[in-house]
Chain A
Amino acid sequence: MTVCSTAFQTLGRAQARALGNSALPIAVIPHPFGGRSREEVRKLAEQCVEDIVKLLAGGKT
């Protein structure tokens, strides 16, 4: 399991393949988030936690 932003999804997927784990679950958050308010980041984090739980249970986000 790993977490990355949309801009780095391609990298995450390619790196997982290169390391022999192409099925690695990746939770993706919108990019960019550096300029977002604390409240917006909190919402993204909450959504991401739900995605992680789904991915760990074998589902899709």
Chain B
Amino acid sequence: MSEPAIDRAPTFEAADDLDAINRLYREKRWSDGLPIVPPTAARVERMLAHSCRGRHEVVANVAPGFGAATVERIAVNAVMAGCDPEYLPVLIAATEAVADPEFNLQGIQATTNPVAVWLVLNGPVSKQLQVNATFNCIGQGSWANATLGRAMRLILQNIGGAQTGEMDRATQGQPGKFTFCCAENEESHPWQPLHVERGFAATDSTVTVVGAEGTMNMNTHAKHADELARVIAETMVHPTSNEYVHGGEPWFIVGSEHAEIFRREGWDKARVKRELWERSKMAVKHLSAKEIDRARASRTPELGELGDDTLLPISPAPDDIQLIVAGGPGTHSVYVPCFGNSRAVMRRIES
């Protein structure tokens, strides 16, 4: 029996002229604004050889356009982004993850908020694919990080239909919407890595998708856990945060030097989460009047009546705060405020 035509990625003939192909992709708005690698049949075939799933199998329907993300269409976008063929299973798992209702992809894709989709890799896959977890891990310079994050964006745009100014309504957006991907540094880690914390084996490879509003660097030479937790918590407090309004899921990329301070003083991950959660509570009165109305609509069932002096926790519970360890040497950690109406989703990467 033949496959239904709807599941086939369309093909067309083009001259072997990179400039002309890029002009076409620019005119059709199939690119993210940067030149692409032409997804020729041969390149797509090489990519498909790295998945045991059928090329026309629908991995997910991607909001807000609900395009069918077949394995083949994911591969086409991965080629365009410059991915090595071995990266395909990561993108299949990530596409499944973004479509999980917990992630709220409809909201993330169509909102005015600058939210980007951040990919976090754990397990052996990071070394196998050389996904950077150390120096400049969310910056430039690592092929896997750059192209995996870019491929995710192209999937969201081309399969999900979130074109700038049409269904993607971001007021300004952010640079992370071009690409945003790193691995966790599991070798320089005082605690369990993220995937083990969430019930996977250390030998499993996983990808986690996070609705990340941006990155806020935190440079502190604090020497003790108590002081470090205090300054991080005070950085979290900001009255224009979606997280305080809705009860969010803030993320942190803890630098290895800061992680070492917590380890030295015996603070486990649960302790760090609890201390940050307690110390980052913000009085309702710091919000604007309109945000107080929004917070009441979102959080009254969780917190009861909200008065001016009610202390709002950033998330419903301490365990909603998410910590990974990554980055090179230095006194920096990163606060990644999140969209609020979203929860990160982790999927195992099947090779």
Residues of A within 8 A of B (CB): 7-8, 10-11, 14-15, 18-19, 34
Contacts and interface: CB of A to CB of B under 8 A. Distances in A.
B66 A19 contact: yes
B169 A15 contact: no
B161 A18 contact: yes
Contacts of A7: 169
Contacts of B64: 11, 14-15, 18
A19 B169 CA distance: 18
A35 to B, nearest CB: 9
Given A19-B66, A34-B290, A14 B169 contact: no
A44 to B, nearest CB: 17
Q: Decide if the interface of chain A is mainly helix, strand, loop or mixed.
A: helix
B281 to A, nearest CB: 27
A10 B161 contact: no
B305 interface: no
Nearest to B61: A18
A17 B23 CA distance: 27
Contacts of B166: 10-11, 14
A13 B330 CA distance: 49
Interface centre among B64, B66, B166, B167 (most CB of A within 10 A): B167
B110 interface: yes
A8 B165 CA distance: 9
Interface string B21-39: 0000000000000000000
Nearest to B165: A10
Given A10-B165, A10-B166, A11-B169, A18 B66 contact: yes
B167 A14 contact: yes
10 contacts: A10-B165, A10-B166, A11-B64, A11-B110, A14-B65, A14-B161, A14-B166, A14-B167, A15-B64, A15-B65
